[in-house]
Amino acid sequence: MLDLTHERLLELARFGAIGLLCACISLAVLIGLCELANVNYLLAYFISFVVANICGYLLNGHYTFRASNHLKRKSFAVYVLVNCVSLAINSLALRILVEIFGVWYVTATIALAAISAPVNFVAHRALSYRVDATS
């Protein structure tokens, strides 16, 4: 059952705010690399994803989930694994949206971020930061 306690809603709000900040960082890096440095959009997407996810890991561990284990190697390894799966799926979807459907890479990136955010919240809460169902 979905637990929508006051604390859970605050947690979700913090995750969303940090996600928005990281999305802005990611878009700035992506657009900067593509438009100013002429880097291929897929390589730029990868780099922007890495930069934003390092920020997200540190901020979410401290502010969102208040996890005492957020700086431990195992926690970080799980976080990276979850994000590698997300990166692989989103990179494939990005390529399909851009090259097959002709969607602008920025629009496609924003849409993919919006779609993957809820999935990433659940995965990181359950796996990366090991927040149990009662907290």
pLDDT tens by residue, 76-130:
788 889 999 999 999 999 999 999 999 999 999 999 999 998 888 888 778 877 7
Q: Calculate helix-pair angle for 6-31, 105-123, nearest 10 degrees.
A: 150
Give phi and psi for 3, each to the nearest 5: -95, 105
Give me the torsion for CA of 58, 60, 61, 66, rounded to 10°: 140
What is the band of 1 on the pLDDT scale with cuts at 50, 70, 90? very low
Local structure of residue 62 (DSSP, 8 states): I
pLDDT digits (tens, 9 = 90+) for 11-40: 888 988 998 999 999 999 999 999 999 999
Residue with tokens 């969607």: 103
- For the chain, give every domain's residue range: 6-128
CB 98 within 8 A of CB 105: yes
Q: What is the pTM of this model?
A: 0.81
